[in-house]
């Protein structure tokens, strides 16, 4: 209980090198109390558990957010952990989307209409990325979301807009391509 993954990983690496037929014993005051031979069934799940602990170490090293090894890993936590480590390792996440919303000012709507109109365009968004893993909300870093093709479902008419409001909700829908790609923005190393 309450062991950090980085503290347990060396022990797991040691256990991974134990083989059937090896012996282990307990030494008290320099005297081995009893030797035991390792059976074939000795900790068969240690490799998978070691991969899990190593993944937690990678996440915690990158984010500088240490937390003890959770007793249980919910499916949603496992998915989030895999996604985050995938990004940390320099890979992209690709998925599809169907609808998104954004808020534009009156000037923003006029600019959008003048530049894009009803045509579909690529959109690049850079934002903070957090992941919820085992009850921890962890800041991962900045990500870039590249939306391959998006268009505004309907732009409000500037003349019909109320002068009381400064911002107006606008719905985005995919254009020809509903792909969105997420990548982690490389950050400056700390030199250690």
- The answer, yes or no, to whether residue 114 has pLDDT greater than 80, is yes
Helices (H), the chain: 5-16, 46-63, 75-88, 106-115
Task: Encode pLDDT of 1-27 as tens digits.
Answer: 899 999 999 999 988 888 878 887 888
Q: Model pTM greater than 0.95? A: no
Q: Do 56 and 132 sit in the same domain of this protein?
A: no
The predicted-structure confidence for 64-75, as pLDDT tens digits, reads as follows: 999 999 988 999
Model pLDDT, residue 154: 84
- Residue 159's pLDDT band, with cuts at 50, 70 and 90, is low
- Indicate if 140 and 174 belong to the same structural domain: yes
Q: Measure the CA–CA gap between 88 and 184, rounded to whole angstroms.
A: 7
Domain residue limits at 123: 92-187
The pLDDT tens digits for 27-69 are 888 888 777 877 777 677 888 999 999 999 999 999 999 999 9
> Do 112 and 178 sit in the same domain of this protein?
yes
* 176 shares a domain with 104: yes
Q: What's the total number of domains in the chain?
A: 2
């Amino acid at each position: 209980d309450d062991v950090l993954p980085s503290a347990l990983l060396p022990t797991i690496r040691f256990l991974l090198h134990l083989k059937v037929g090896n012996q282990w014993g307990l030494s008290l005051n320099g005297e081995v109390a009893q030797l035991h031979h390792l059976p074939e069934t000795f900790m068969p799940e240690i490799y998978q558990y070691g991969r899990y602990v190593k993944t937690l170490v990678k996440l915690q090293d990158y984010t500088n957010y240490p937390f003890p090894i959770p007793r249980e890993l919910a499916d949603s936590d496992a998915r989030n952990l895999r996604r985050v480590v995938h990004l940390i390792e320099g890979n992209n996440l690709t998925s599809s989307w169907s609808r998104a919303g954004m808020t534009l000012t009156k000037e923003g709507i006029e600019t959008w209409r003048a530049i894009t109109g009803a045509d579909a365009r690529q959109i690049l968004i850079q934002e903070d990325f957090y992941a919820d893993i085992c009850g921890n909300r962890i800041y991962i870093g900045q990500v870039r979301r590249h939306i391959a093709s998006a268009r505004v479902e309907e732009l409000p008419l500037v003349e019909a807009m109320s002068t009381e409001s400064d911002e107006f909700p606008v719905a985005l829908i995919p254009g020809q391509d509903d792909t969105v790609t997420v990548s982690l923005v490389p950050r400056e190393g700390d030199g250690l």
